[in-house]
A and B are shown apart, each in its own frame.
Chain A
């Protein structure tokens, strides 16, 4: 039998391993499969360490703050912070809806909706393992009601969507990922457009015709058209507008601090946020008297502050 030199053996092994991975890549792309099983294994194997690490950091922080600060003050601050976060979400949406109501005052009698949207608070325990993607891992999973394609937000604005939900953990695709994005709307001009990530810290506004006027500093909110995010959640602020054909080149600074996420809120519903027609809304407010305006302008439901920290 002919002996194979050691160098050739390792070269053959290199070729074999590379070929296997290229084939694996090809299979994934062709079938749009992400090899869920191996991801489950990897995440399950590493997540306990990440969770332990996050627990360790929290413990050290907790001991520090609670030892050197007053115990009751620390607890009170924690409770107030959670309450404040929930209130900020409500306030942000109410402010946006109030602005819309001002513009459409003659057409729309804006009434506050009482539709509840259940939420759950989650801690960020890990980030992406490389710069090729922008994802985070949170400590809430299927046991907490988290499912794929649920919206993830912070009191500052939209964060992303759940792309994988494991038993106790979930992975969240940030808006800034190449594959991330959301349906958005310019607050002043009400132009609807998708925003997406490029792998950079900023977002890009897509498909705005070159003849539309977009101002630097203009705010964007979610449009609700993507069936993931409810309407009127802040998305970002236009930071740069360049001429282009057929579409403008527009960069957007995300409203949420996507590179400094420690806690987030998952909206526990995959159903589109229910809209109340004005007539129905007024009906509710006036005790069943028809409004008579006939306007069918929809208004969004307000997420209730039912955050489970």
Chain B
């Protein structure tokens, strides 16, 4: 298999990026550990959703819907398992599966390397994830949940900003 190849569609061409061995696993585990550990010392960091950022980034970069949705599934189920028994397994799993699929599908059609595009996509995916979580909570768990609040908008913007910075760092894990 070539280390890097291109999807060609008419005039446009979009690179499919490969990563160093273990990079995805390492970043996924690191995201989960930081997600659970950081708020203990810095409570405001609970606003971040690092597993989501990892799902989005590797979905956009690998541009393979199957691997994107599977990575989202793993990240979501791990997040469920680490959120305590009050969060049923599949709650975050469903949301991140869909996000992983959409991210890799969009990544296969658009150039998502520009910081502005990354900000907009991360913001949109964060809001979409929240919408899916509300739907799951309302339809499957029969629990009330607000559709929108200011906190959500702030959280989406903060995560999108962090995503722009983190994605640049993640780019260094790509094979040249």
A residues near B, CB below 8 A? 7, 9-11, 13-14, 17-18, 21-22, 24-26, 28-29, 34-36, 38-39, 41-43, 46, 49-50, 53-54, 57, 124-133, 135-137, 163-164, 171, 173, 177-179, 259-262
Contact = CB atoms under 8 A, between A and B. Distances in A.
B37 A126 contact: yes
B46 A127 contact: yes
A135 B88 contact: no
Given A10-B66, A25-B88, A43 B98 contact: no
B89 A25 contact: yes
Contacts of B137: 132
B66 A43 contact: no
Interface in B76-93: 77-93
B73 A259 contact: no
B85 A10 contact: no
Interface in B157-173: none
B103 interface: no
Given A128-B87, A164-B85, 7 more contacts: A13-B70, A22-B90, A25-B90, A39-B81, A129-B51, A130-B83, A131-B47
A42 B84 CA distance: 11
Contacts of B79: 129-130
Interface in B2-37: 29, 32-33, 35-37
Interface in B98-126: 98, 101, 105
Nearest to A11: B65
A129 B32 contact: yes
Contacts of A259: 43, 46
B85 A34 contact: yes
A10 B101 contact: yes
B86 A133 contact: yes
A96 to B, nearest CB: 28
Given A57-B41, A132-B83, A28 B88 contact: yes
Contacts of B140: 22, 25-26, 29
Contacts of B66: 9-10, 13
Contacts of A173: 84, 86
B-side interface size class: 35 or more
Given A10-B65, A17-B70, A135-B84, A28 B36 contact: no
Contacts of B87: 128, 130, 132-133
Contacts of B36: 46, 50, 126-129, 137
A13 B81 contact: no
A127 B101 contact: no
- In the A-B complex, list the 7 residue pairs whose CB atoms are closest, starting with the nearest: A42-B81, A135-B84, A10-B65, A129-B82, A21-B90, A126-B36, A34-B85
Interface of B: 29, 32-33, 35-37, 39-41, 43, 46-47, 49, 51, 64-66, 69-70, 73, 77-94, 97-98, 101, 105, 133, 136-137, 140-141, 143
A53 B42 CA distance: 14
Contacts of B41: 57, 262
A43 B36 CA distance: 11
A24 B89 contact: yes
Nearest to B104: A10
Contact of A14 (B69, B83, B86, B133): B69
Nearest to A163: B85
A101 B80 CA distance: 47
B73 A125 contact: no
B89 A132 contact: no
A47 B105 CA distance: 34
B37 to A, nearest CB: 5
Nearest to A200: B151
Contacts of B46: 127-128, 131, 259
A21 B73 contact: yes
B90 to A, nearest CB: 4
Nearest to A19: B94
Contacts of A14: 65, 69, 97-98, 101
A53 B40 CA distance: 11
Nearest to B76: A21
A16 to B, nearest CB: 10
A194 to B, nearest CB: 17
Contacts of A43: 81-82
